[in-house]
Amino acid sequence: MQSTPSQLPGLSDREAANRRAAGQGNNIPIQTSRTYWDIFRDNLFTFINGVYFFLSLVLIALGLVSDVLVLACVILLNVVVNVIQEIRAKKKLDKIALLTRPKASIIREGQQRDIDPSQIVVGDVLVVSPGDQIVVDGSIMGEGEIKVDESLLTGESDLIAKQVSDPVYSGSFCVSGTACYEAEKVGADSLASKMTAEARKFRKVLTPLQHRINMIIRLLLGVALLLGLITALRITLGVISLTTGVQNTAVIVGLVPSGLYLMITLAYTFGAVRIAQQSALVQQANAVESISNVDVMCLDKTGTLTANRIQLQTVYPIDLDRAKLETILGNYAATASTSNKTNEAIATTLPREKRPLKTEISFGSAHKWSAIAFGDSPGVYILGAPEILGTVIPLQTDLQAYIREGADQGLRVLLFAYSPTVTELRDGTGDPVLPPNLQPLGILRFGDELRPDARQTLAEFRQAGIQVKVISGDNPATVAALAKQAGLSNDIIAVSGQDLAQMDDAVFTQTAEESTIFGRITPEQKARLVKSLQSRKHYVAMMGDGVNDVLSLKQANVGIAMESGSQATRGVADIVLLKDKFSALPKIFLEGQRIRNGVADISKLFMVRIFSFILAIVAVGMITLSFPFGIKTSTIVMFLTVGIPPFFVTLWAKPDKPKGLEGNSFLHFVIPATLTLSLASILVYLYFLAENITPVFEWLNGQIPFDELGRRIAFEDIARAQQVAETAMITLQVLGGYSCSHSSSHPLPLGLEVSR
C-alpha cells in the first residue's frame, strides 16, 4: 500500500513561519534574466575599459587631464545608456518569468497545496508526480516509489529508482510514480539555486553568427596589437614622444570592438522583450537570434498539433459484458495514483469508484503501458499500446483490423487486458515487465482535438522554408492522419520506433532526413533523431511539453516548451510559449530574423568604423608621418558612430531573409563602405591640412616656388592645420557612421546595394 499525502500531516503554518524566521527558508532568485550586478559588471568592467583605465593613469601622470576627462565621460555615458536600457528590459522579462515560475506541491496542516518554491522550509513534506521538478534536496518518505532523471546534474540519462530513505536532489525531475519527500537542504545549501545554471551550462552553445563575430574580433585584436607594437617601436626609436605614443595607443585600443558584445547582448534583450509581446518567454539570451537559423522544426503531436485534450469515443468489449468492462475501466482510472490525460478521459466518461490499490505501474513513455492490481480482487489489469501488448497477446485478425482502422482515422487506440495471477511486475533492474497469461478485455478509442490554429501555423512554417517533422509516442498511422488533417501533404512518410530500433546509424540518419512522421518513439529515439538531423547540417528546433521531451529539447539547437508543460520541460527550454500559444511560433521566427539581421548590421557598422580608422591611420601616417586622431576626438567618434546608431539599427532591421557575416553579405557592404569612407576621410584631411598651411596653399596656386616651402612653413602652422583637418575628418566619420547604420538596412546611395 503506497503512502498518500493525506497520511502525512506535514508542518503547521506556525512551524513553517518559525523555521523561515530562523533562516531555514528556500530563498532562491528568478534566474530567467541576468542579475543587476551582472548587467553593471559586464558593461563597466570590460577588458578595454581596464586598458583605458591604465592608460588614463599614465596620461594623468603626463599632465593630460583634459584627455582623461573626455575619455571618462564618453565611456561612462555609454555604460549608463546600456545599463538603463538593459535594466528596463530585465524588469519586463522578470515580471513575465514570475507568472510562469514552477510551483511546488507540499503538505501543510495535513492539506496538500501548491506554493512558490521560495516558500519551502526545512522539514516540509513535498509531493512529486511525473513531470515535477525536485526543487530542494531531501529523502523519500513513506512507501511511495518514483523514477527520477538526474541528467541535469550528472549528464547521464539513465532513470534512477528512489524508494523510502533514498536521497533526491534538486535539479532532477520525476519521470514516473508518485512519492513524498522531506526537505532537508534548501536555499544556498541545496542544488536548487544552481539548477538553472546547470541546465544552461548543458545547453550553452554559440550561434553561427556569434562564432563569426568571435573570429572577426580576434582578427581585429591582432591588428590592434600590431599597430601597438609599431607605436612602441616609434617611441623606442625616438620618432615620437612618450606622451604622443600613449595618446596614440589609447586611440588604437579603441579599434578593438569590445562594445560589440554589449551591443549584441542589448539587441538580444530588446528582442526578448518584443518576443514576450508575442506571448513567449525567452530563457536563453541567444535563442532570440538562434531561432532564425532553424530549418527543421520537430513537434510532439500531443499539446502542439492537438490541444492536449482527449475524449473517450468508443469502448469495444472482447468476450466481456460492456457494462462490466466499463465499470472495471472506470475503477481503474479512479484508483490510479498518478493522473494523466488518458485516465482523466476515462474517468469523466465512465462510472467509477476508487478501490484499494495493491500494486501499480505508472504509464511511462519507454514501456508504453500501465498496470493496476486492486487490493480487493485477484489479478492485474493492463492498459497500453496495442503494438506493445500485442507482442504477448495473440490478437485475432478482426481485432487487428479494428485497431488499424482507428489509427488510420487519427484516433488514439489502446488495448485493455487482464492477467489472473499477480506476479512481480518489475525485473531485477527495476524496469517494468508484462505479466504472463494476458487476456484481452477490450479496445479503447480516444479522439484528439486538433488545435484550431494548427493548420495556419504549419502553412506559415512551409512558407518560411522550415521542414516540419512530427515525433510522437502514438501509433504512426494515428499521427499521420492527424498531421494530414493539420495540412501536411498526403504523401508524407511515416515510420515507427520499432523500425528505427532495427536500423544502423547510416540508415537511421537517412530515414530521419526523408521521413516526416515518427510514431511509437521513445525519449532516447527522439534525442537521436534530433542529433541525426544535426549531423546532416540542419539547425533543429524541438518543441514539446512532456517529461519525455526533455532529452530531445536539450539536444536540439533551440528547445521550445509549452507553459502548461511539465516543470522539467520548461526548465530546460530556451523559449516557453505562454498560454500555450502555438500560433505565436511563426511570429517568433520573424522576430528572430529581425534580431539576427540587426546583430549582423551592428557588426558590419563596427567593422566599417574600425577598418576606416585603420586605413586612415595608415594612409595619413605614410603621407604626413603624423597620427590623424587624438584621444578626445576618437572617443567622441566611437560613441557617436557605434554607440548611438546600433539602437536605431535594431529598430530598422527587417525580418526578411537572414543576413550574415559571411561571403557576399559581408564583402558587398563592409568593403565598399570602408573604402568610400576611408578615401573621403583621407582626402578631406589632406585638403584641409593643405588649405590651412598658407605656404602650401600659395604653392598649389602657383604664388610661390616649391623651394621656398621649407623656409615659409612654421611648426605652429602645421599644428593648427592638423587640428582643422582632424576636425573635418572626424565630422565626416560621424556622418559616415550614421549613413552606414542606415544603409546597413536600406539601399545605399549612389547605386550601391546592400546584399541581403
Q: How far apart are CA 731 and CA 687, in angstroms?
A: 14
* pLDDT tens sequence across 269-289: 778 888 888 888 887 777 888
* pLDDT tens sequence across 424-454: 788 877 788 898 889 999 999 998 878 888 8
pLDDT of the residue at 198: 44
pLDDT of the residue at 726: 59
E strand or H helix that includes residue 137:
strand 137-149
Higher pLDDT, 67 or 438: 438
Global model pTM greater than 0.75: no
Give the model's confidence band at 692: pLDDT under 50 very low, under 70 low, under 90 confident, else very high. Answer: low
Task: Evaluate if residue 208 carries a pLDDT over 50.
Answer: yes
Give the model's confidence band at 178: pLDDT under 50 very low, under 70 low, under 90 confident, else very high. Answer: confident
pLDDT of the residue at 493: 92
Mean pLDDT of the chain: 78
Task: List residues with catalytic annotation.
Answer: 300
Report percent pLDDT > 70 for the chain. 73
374 secondary structure, DSSP code: E
CA atoms within 13 A on the CB side of 689: 18
Give the model's confidence band at 616: pLDDT under 50 very low, under 70 low, under 90 confident, else very high. Answer: confident
pLDDT of the residue at 578: 85
Give the model's confidence band at 2: pLDDT under 50 very low, under 70 low, under 90 confident, else very high. Answer: very low
Give the model's confidence band at 534: pLDDT under 50 very low, under 70 low, under 90 confident, else very high. Answer: very high
Task: Evaluate if residue 476 carries a pLDDT over 60.
Answer: yes
What is the average pLDDT across 255-272?
A: 71
* Residues facing 577 on adjacent strands: 280, 562
What is the average pLDDT across 258-265?
A: 67
Check: CB of residue 379 under 8 Å from CB of residue 419.
yes
Between 223-237, 374-388, 392-406, 580-594, the lowest mean confidence (pLDDT) is in 223-237
- What Rg, from alpha-carbon coordinates, does the chain have? 34
Backbone torsions φ then ψ of 185, nearest 5 degrees: -125, 125
Check: CB of residue 305 under 8 Å from CB of residue 452.
no
pLDDT of the residue at 754: 34
Task: Evaluate if residue 140 carries a pLDDT over 90.
Answer: yes
Q: How far apart are CA 274 and CA 659, in angstroms?
A: 20
Give the model's confidence band at 746: pLDDT under 50 very low, under 70 low, under 90 confident, else very high. Answer: very low
pLDDT of the residue at 750: 29
Task: Evaluate if residue 395 carries a pLDDT over 60.
Answer: yes
pLDDT of the residue at 74: 66
pLDDT of the residue at 560: 93
**Widest distance between CA atoms in the chain:** 122
pLDDT of the residue at 195: 45
What is the average pLDDT across 658-664?
A: 53
pLDDT of the residue at 715: 47
Task: Evaluate if residue 744 carries a pLDDT over 70.
Answer: no
Q: Which residue has the cell 508518485?
A: 178
Q: How far apart are CA 602 and CA 82, in angstroms?
A: 15
> 111 is written with which cell numbers?
492539506
What is the average pLDDT across 247-270?
A: 68
Task: Evaluate if residue 711 carries a pLDDT over 80.
Answer: no
Give the model's confidence band at 538: pLDDT under 50 very low, under 70 low, under 90 confident, else very high. Answer: very high
pLDDT of the residue at 197: 45
> 632 is written with which cell numbers?
578626445
Question: What does each C-alpha distance from 673 to 195, 650, 754 come to in angstroms?
Answer: 47, 19, 10
Q: How far apart are CA 747 and CA 67, in angstroms?
A: 38
pLDDT of the residue at 540: 96
Q: Which residues of 401-425 are buried (b: 16+ CB within 10 A; e: fewer)?
A: ebbeebbebbbbbbbbbbbeeeeeb
pLDDT of the residue at 414: 94
131 secondary structure, DSSP code: T
Helices (H), 464-504: 476-485, 497-501
pLDDT of the residue at 749: 34
Between 261-265, 273-277, 297-301, 387-391, the lowest mean confidence (pLDDT) is in 261-265
What is the average pLDDT across 656-664?
A: 54
The domains located in the chain, with CATH, are 5-28+101-203 (2.70.150.10), 36-92+205-270+590-743 (no CATH)
pLDDT of the residue at 256: 61
pLDDT of the residue at 628: 63
E strand or H helix that includes residue 715:
helix 715-743
pLDDT of the residue at 529: 96
Q: Nearest-CA neighbor of 665 among 247, 656, 124? A: 656
Q: How far apart are CA 221 and CA 606, in angstroms?
A: 13
